[in-house]
């Protein structure tokens, strides 16, 4: 976070109010807690991939049952996504985000009670329903607090937390699965769900205490700081109408970026749910070693996010960066399919894949705020996220079905690579002028 957070919360001195100094102050106040919350949100999404081997062994689930259960999270998520963000706009981000965290933490912890496929499906659906609105709610919240010219880096910092979930979550998950299996009469996968769910209750309380809904509510900002920050955000939004949700949908390019996000999410879920399986198959390693190797693509993704966030803010030409990262992800998928039985080249392919697909998500999320503000942004960001999350339904089930049918994930990996190339083509050649316009011209 050095690029934006290089300084202390007291960086803004009286009489020296500048946009960069205020952004640093706001980032120090908001981003550490937001990043920790998002890290647990992402870990609660992908912990099912770490638990896969023990879960299937203990409960006798097939690959199709696992893929369907993994996808049921997304079904619950997409059904309640837009309503959740509209409620957030109405009641305020602080209360609603806290509610989301507490309720999904409880639902995740309840995973220790599953005994059948139907228990698995129902609780995964419930977790998705409880978490619905969190990521788009945070993305909308950032548009309230940060000018457009800083959002590439700020959004990257938020999504670096997803990489941290892989960097730290994968090894920790491996240690929990191996070290706590059988302790207290619980399997390792049950301890894993408790470790992912219970801390969210504490984080929900911290959100209530730490976040403010609006710039005007921030007692930790002086009035000149509030005025300058508000004016800069308004300046960047001057050519964007305050649309309703229907008005947002009608904006040129809105459904196009929803399609691009759908394609990117197929790639993202392909890595999240099947990366550990690829590594396990190629290496034959135990849970702990698989966990440490699984961290590598996310380390590369974290580095890529920070670097690309700075570069995209400097140029303001967001679609080009989305396309370049999607192409890198496609090459990673092709390499993973080609070397799925050879651990060393497979890890190089997964590193490239992580650098591309993990970093493409925060870069993509700089685009919707170029189209909509206000309630249109709250509902519109949620709708785009919903369209994208259908990729989370398609990807696990498709890969699971292909693996059960052919005994190999390779054909599915090639297919996902082609879809990433399609996303790159749309980003480069189909974007309307409003999305191609550089933020630096604002």
275 and 189 both lie in a single domain: no
Query: Whole-prediction pTM value?
Result: 0.72
The lowest-confidence range among 29-38, 298-307, 428-437 is 428-437
CATH number for the domain that contains residue 270: 1.20.1250.20
Task: Check whether residue 30 and residue 146 sit in a common domain.
Answer: yes
Q: Are residues 292 and 437 in the same domain?
A: yes
In a domain, 283, yes or no: yes
- Average confidence (pLDDT) over 220-243: 77
Q: Give the total number of structural domains in the chain.
A: 2
Distance CA 53, CA 192 (A): 13
pLDDT at 377: 61
Token pair, residue 17, equals: 């109010």
Based on the fold, state whether residues 262 and 120 are members of the same structural domain.
no
Report for 42-46, 114-118, 357-361, 379-383: range of highest mean pLDDT: 357-361
Percent of the chain beyond pLDDT 70?
Answer: 88
Residue 256 has pLDDT above 70, yes or no: yes
Residue 16 placed within a domain: no
**Separation CA 195–CA 135 (nearest Å):** 21
Return the number of other C-beta atoms located less than 10 Å from residue 239's C-beta.
10
Supply the pLDDT for residue 6: 47
Residue 387 and residue 331 in one domain = yes
Query: Which one has a higher pLDDT value, 260 or 316?
Result: 260
Render pLDDT for 110-145 as a digit per residue (tens, 0 to 9): 988 988 888 889 999 999 899 888 888 888 888 888
What's the whole-number mean pLDDT along residues 257-261?
92
Residues 311 and 252 in one domain: yes
Looking at the fold, whether 191 and 253 belong to one and the same domain comes out as no
Average of per-residue pLDDT across 377-393: 76
- Quick one: which of 201, 42, 206 has its CA closest to 107? 201
- Domain check: are 270 and 122 in the same one? no
Q: For the residues of 208-237, what is the DSSP string, one character each?
A: HHH--SSGGG-TTS-HHHHHHHHHHHHHHT
Q: Which of 202, 228, 254 is the last residue of a domain?
A: 228
Q: How many residues does the chain have?
A: 442
Percent of the chain with pLDDT over 90: 24
347: enclosing H helix or E strand: helix 343-353
* Contacting residues for 103 by C-beta, under 8 A, at least 6 apart: 130
Look at residue 132 and give its three-state secondary structure.
coil
Same domain, residue pair 199 and 305: no
Higher-scoring residue by pLDDT: 332, 391: 332
Does 2 have pLDDT greater than 60? Answer: no
CA–CA separation, 261 and 268 (whole Å): 10
**Residue-range definition of the domain harbouring residue 58:** 21-228
Residue 62 CA from chain centroid, whole number: 27
Shared domain for 209 and 292, answered yes or no, is no
Contact between residue 163 and residue 298 where contact means Cβ atoms under 8 Å apart? yes
Please check whether residues 195 and 312 belong to one and the same domain: no
**Assigned domain for 278 exists:** yes
Instruction: Indicate the burial class of 260 (C-beta count within 10 angstroms; 0-12, 13-18, 19 or more).
Output: buried
Q: Quick one: tokens of 175?
A: 């240690």
User: Residue 333 falls within a domain, yes or no?
Assistant: yes
Of the three residues 228, 260, 294, the one that is the final residue of a domain is 228
- pLDDT value, residue 425: 95
Measured CA to CA, the distance from residue 197 to residue 41 in angstroms comes to 9
Give yes or no: residues 162 and 307 share one domain.
no
- Reduce the DSSP state of residue 431 to 3 states and report it: coil
Answer yes or no: is 362 within a domain.
Answer: yes
Q: Which of 228, 261, 277 is the last residue of a domain?
A: 228
Domain-located, residue 375: yes
**DSSP output for 279-296:** HHHHH---HHHHHHHHHH
- With contact defined as beta carbons under 8 Å apart, do 99 and 204 qualify? yes
Residue 6 counted as domain residue: no
Considering the domain boundaries, does residue 239 fall inside one?
no
Using CA atoms, how far apart are residues 275 and 354, in angstroms rounded to an integer? 10
Euclidean distance between CA atoms 51 and 360, whole angstroms: 26
């Amino acid at each position: 976070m050095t690029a934006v957070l290089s300084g202390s919360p007291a960086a803004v001195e009286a009489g020296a109010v500048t946009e960069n100094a205020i952004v640093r102050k706001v980032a120090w106040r908001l981003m550490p807690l937001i990043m920790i919350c998002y890290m647990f949100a992402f870990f609660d999404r992908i912990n099912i991939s770490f638990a896969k081997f023990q879960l299937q062994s203990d409960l006798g689930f097939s690959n199709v049952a696992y893929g369907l259960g993994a996808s049921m999270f997304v079904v619950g998520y997409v059904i309640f996504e837009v309503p959740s963000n509209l409620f957030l706009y109405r009641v305020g981000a602080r209360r609603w985000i806290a509610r989301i965290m507490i309720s999904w933490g409880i639902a995740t912890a309840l995973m220790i009670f599953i005994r059948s496929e139907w228990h698995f499906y129902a609780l995964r659906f419930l977790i998705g329903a409880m978490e619905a609105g969190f990521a788009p709610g945070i993305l909308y919240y950032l548009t309230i607090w940060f000018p457009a010219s800083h959002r590439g880096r700020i959004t990257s910092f938020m999504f670096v937390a997803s990489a941290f979930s892989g960097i730290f979550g994968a090894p920790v998950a491996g240690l929990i699965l191996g070290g706590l299996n059988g302790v207290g009469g619980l399997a390792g996968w049950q301890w894993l769900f408790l470790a992912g769910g219970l801390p969210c209750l504490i984080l929900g309380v911290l959100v209530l205490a730490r976040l403010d809904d609006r710039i005007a509510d921030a007692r930790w900002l002086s009035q000149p700081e509030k005025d300058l920050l508000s004016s800069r955000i308004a300046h960047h939004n001057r050519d964007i109408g305050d649309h309703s949700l229907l008005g947002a949908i009608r904006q040129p390019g809105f459904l196009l970026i929803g399609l691009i996000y759908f394609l990117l999410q197929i790639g993202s879920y392909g890595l999240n749910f099947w990366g550990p399986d690829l590594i396990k198959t190629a290496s034959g390693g135990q849970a702990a070693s698989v966990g440490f190797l699984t961290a590598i693509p996310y380390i590369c993704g974290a580095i890529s996010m920070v670097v690309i966030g700075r570069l995209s803010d400097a140029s303001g030409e967001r679609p080009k960066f989305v396309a370049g990262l999607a192409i890198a992800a496609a090459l990673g998928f092709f390499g993973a399919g080609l070397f799925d039985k050879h651990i060393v080249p497979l890890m190089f392919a997964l590193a490239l894949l992580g650098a591309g697909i993990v970093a493409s998500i925060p870069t993509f999320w700089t685009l919707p705020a170029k189209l909509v503000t206000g309630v249109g942004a709250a509902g519109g960001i949620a709708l785009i996220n919903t369209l994208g999350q259908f990729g989370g339904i398609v990807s696990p089930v498709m890969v699971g079905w292909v693996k059960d049918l052919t005994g190999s994930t390779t054909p599915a990996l090639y297919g996902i690579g082609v879809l990433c190339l399609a996303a790159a083509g749309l980003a480069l050649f189909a974007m309307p002028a409003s999305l191609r316009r550089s933020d630096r011209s604002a």
